[in-house]
Amino acid sequence: MITDIASATSGTAWQLIAVVLAVLSLVVMIGWGKMQPLLAFVIASIGAALLLKMPLDAIPKSIEKGIGDMLGSLALLLALGAIFGKMIADSGAAQKIASVLIKAFGTSRMSIALAVTGFVVGIPLFYNVGFVLLAPLVFSLGRQSGKPLVWLAIPLMAGLSIAHGFLPPHPSPSAIVPMLGADMGLTLLYGLAVGIPTVLIAGPVFATTVRKITSNPPELFVSPPVSDDEMPSAFNAFGTALLPVLLLSGATVLSFSGLVTAEYKPIVAFVSNPILVMLIAVIVASVTLGMVRGTGFRQLMEKSGSALREIAPILLIIAGAGALKQILVDSGVSAALGSVMQTLPVHPLVLGWLIAGAIRVSLGSATVAGLTAAGLIAPLVASSGVNPNLMVLAVGAGSLMFSHVNDSGFWMFKEYFGLTVKDTLRTWTLMEGLVGIVGLICVLVLNQFV
């Protein structure tokens, strides 16, 4: 019996070593070798399968199944999200939302207005699109108000970052939701509850500490804003941009309220399906932000269709993460990981956050960090009974931790605002660290009530 226990312990230890080696190989290939993430994930998956002694003929089938299962539920959702975000950006709706919020909050509370702008505009827009779209707004406000550019930029970028890491329909949280067995609507509602205090602390509060940092943005990035005549009305901009949030959260609230009878529950489930929600949002946006305002249908489709090129690299990363996840499941290592993780003296939510944070700091990519961590932590979610919706947020918070020189976002912020590497570490990196830390604290607090 003692021999059997020793043999089992030895086997589990080797499985853990194989997983660690697979993750380290990802770090080396993507971080040092600059390899395309899909290729790196496939190589790491094959390496892990060989180390875990999977049958050779089962390895390709497992990789194909992982990629197919992952993309099957997400490809259409993310493609529709990209098209919708492109319509919001091209129509001037995002800029209209920003101008309305800044006017409502006033000059003295401009940093709060910008934090809310980043958070609201960040919901329908992918991060890089939101960054490029809203950075000129910071330059314009700085020129008009005389306020320090970094003081204005930090709250805005904090809002964008939190929406990117916490809220569906963004790629990483949207992909993690099915991986952990969470609910899209509940994750969105909890994400809003966690994101609002996080953005206020990591944005306006933290920005007060960086007012004296000098910014020298290149003229290349200081572009004039869209004129008022070219922007949609405030009602149109807010209503269209927030439509996915209203549909998802509204249907979730209805489902849990007890107001919907069994007869109508299938209708609510149908309308609240994320793919249908995004399809409705695209159709509404094409009318309210396009055809009603004089943009021809063909022209609208041509412009919004270009957004699919932006989502392709993200889909490939998600596909690669699905391959590695399936190898971990089919090899049996997921069950072993769940058993080992249950014995660790760390709360499951903190553990998910730590794993995502370690991968984020090593690799730079928030999407890769979130998806890899979710694949590793999934068995623990199933075995520990932890709230899967909160685990999505804990992993999302960890995936945003301490962006530095291996992250493209770090260099975008540095170059757009003309900062030194030292000042970028002092501003951008610390802001992202605060997002991750405060986000986890808020998740742990929310865990006491749900």
Burial 44-83 (b: 16+ CB within 10 A, else e): bbbbbbebbebeeeebeebbebbbebbbebbeebbbbbbb
- The reply to whether 48 falls in a domain is no
Domain hosting 106: range is 73-447
The answer to whether position 165 is within a domain reads yes
pTM, rounded to two decimals: 0.74
HSE (CB half, 13 Å, CA atoms) of 398? 28
Q: Token match 């699109």: residue?
A: 129
Q: What is the pLDDT of residues 246-295, one digit of tens each?
A: 887 787 777 767 777 778 778 887 887 888 888 898 899 888 888 877 77
Q: Is residue 359 part of a domain?
A: yes
Half-sphere exposure in the Cβ direction for 320 (13 Å, CA) = 25
Rounded CA gap, 432 and 404, in Å? Answer: 9
270 lies in some domain? yes
Q: State residue 1's pLDDT score.
A: 40
* Residue 38 falls inside a structural domain: no
pLDDT at position 391 is 96
Question: What are the Cα distances from residue 117, in Å, to 94, 241, 367?
Answer: 8, 12, 23
Q: Is 339 among the domain residues?
A: yes
Residues lower than pLDDT 50 in the chain: 1-9, 223
User: For the segment 329-380, what is each residue's pLDDT rounded down to a tens digit?
Assistant: 788 776 666 666 667 788 999 999 998 888 888 777 788 888 888 888 888 8
Angle (CA) 380 431 345, round 5°: 25
pLDDT at 8: 42
Q: Residue 221's pLDDT is what?
A: 52
258: left (phi over 0), alpha (psi -120 to 50) or beta: left
User: Given this model, what pLDDT does residue 60 score?
Assistant: 93
- The answer to whether residue 271 sits within a structural domain is yes
- In a domain? residue 234: yes
**Residue 25 to residue 360: CA distance in whole angstroms:** 14
Overall domain count for the chain? 1
